[in-house]
Amino acid sequence: MKTENIQLTTSEVAALWSTYIQNSVTRCFYKHFLQHLKDPEIKPLIKEALSLNESFMKQVEKILQKENFPVPKGFTDEDVNLSAPALFTDIFALSFLYRSGQVVTIFYATAIGKVARQDISAFFEDCLFKRTKLYKTSLDLMLSKGVYDRPPKINYPKSIEFIEHQPSLLKTWLGEGRPLDVLELGEIFFVVERNCIGLNLLMGLIQVTNDKEVKEYLIKGKKLSKRQIKTFNEILEENDSMPSFPVEMEVTDSTDSPFSERLIMFFISTSNQIGFTTLSYGMSVSMRKDLAVHYSTTIAEVLKYSAEGLEIMIHRGWMEQPPLSPNRKK
């Protein structure tokens, strides 16, 4: 199918624009990691991640230029200081790659369902295939190094069951009386896992950030992340599902920032958006009322924190405007 005369839809522009921006962000992190990585198994994976980032960005740039559409500024080499000492350990670099793989595979899969033009669909299919392969490799390496914590397990049921509609049973089912089901257990586990990785990131960024306003914002994020770990860890412990999820320190003693404040704020802002989405999904599959309370409280806190970050970025002139539709009310 020829695409020369088929204009990009808003969904296609949004997917391409976001792909360029997000890859420009993680590109800066991968470039910093590669300056210091020593592990012979981790380093090739980060190199591959960087290569994919740059390849995807070039393809988006080519598509947009052909459409005479402005290419986003995103983040460049100006946002990463390659002479700065290592801020994180090699294991954190692997965890970062693993976590980013979780995020982008979902993003690319979602994008495929929103685009129609053949060349755009093919591009996102290629992105999904390559990043899924890299994610699987990073996961396998975490398993072989013994740094991947598996989600909780249950005894296999002997048969299927249906929930009976009885007032007393319904109260128990929706309340705190019954054990967690597998949908609830899985989502709670990954809330804790995400925040453990995020907490390490925040501790490192707080350590090197000199901007007072940005540092205070990051400290708020650290407290919020700790609350989530504590809250959802306690739920797992009460269910006798697994011991407390520990937070390993994967930050060096460096005080020289490898990243610009704009990059730091944007990355945390994006993490907030992803956190809101994943918490909302966790809430949607949870039928216990106490879980709904925990999720809704946490979501409200994340939204408030996200709004504060957005205000800082707009006030500083750091927030790149996504493409707008014409204002026909003028």
pLDDT digits (tens, 9 = 90+) for 305-323: 999 999 999 999 999 999 9
Task: Give the separation between CA 193 and CA 313, rounded to whole angstroms.
Answer: 27
Which residues, in sequence order, are CB contacts of 169 under 8 Å at separation 6+? 163
pLDDT band for 3, please (50, 70, 90 cuts).
Answer: low
Task: Give the separation between CA 189 and CA 176, rounded to whole angstroms.
Answer: 18
pLDDT band for 179, please (50, 70, 90 cuts).
Answer: confident
Contact 139, 98 (CB under 8 A): yes
Best-predicted range by mean pLDDT (90-94, 144-148, 157-161, 235-239): 90-94
Token pair for 137: 């490799």
Whether the per-residue pLDDT at 174 is higher than 60: the answer is no
**Dmax (CA) of the chain:** 66
Q: What is the mean pLDDT of residues 173-187?
A: 78
Amino acid at 156: Y
Q: What is the mean pLDDT of residues 37-58?
A: 98
**What is the distance, to the nearest Å, from the Cα of residue 116 to the centroid of all Cα atoms in its chain?**
26
Token pair for 168: 């007393």
Q: Give me the pLDDT at residue 141, please.
A: 97
Computed over its alpha carbons, how large is the radius of gyration of the chain? 22
pLDDT band for 169, please (50, 70, 90 cuts).
Answer: very low
pLDDT band for 152, please (50, 70, 90 cuts).
Answer: confident
Q: Give me the pLDDT at residue 4, please.
A: 62
pLDDT digits (tens, 9 = 90+) for 209-255: 999 999 999 999 999 999 999 999 989 888 876 655 555 678 999 99
pLDDT band for 167, please (50, 70, 90 cuts).
Answer: low
Whether the per-residue pLDDT at 258 is higher than 50: the answer is yes
DSSP β-bridge partners for residue 88 = 251
Domains, the chain, with CATH or none? 10-145 (1.20.1260.10), 173-316 (1.20.1260.10)
Residue 310: how many CB atoms within 10 A of its CB?
15
Task: Give the separation between CA 156 and CA 224, rounded to whole angstroms.
Answer: 35
Say what the pTM is: 0.92
> 251 φ, ψ to 5°?
-115, 140
Query: Three-state secondary structure along 220-257?
Result: HHHHHHHHHHHHHHHHHHHCCCCCCCCCCCCECCCCCC
pLDDT digits (tens, 9 = 90+) for 118-148: 999 999 999 999 999 999 999 999 999 998 8
Q: What is the mean pLDDT of residues 103-115?
A: 96
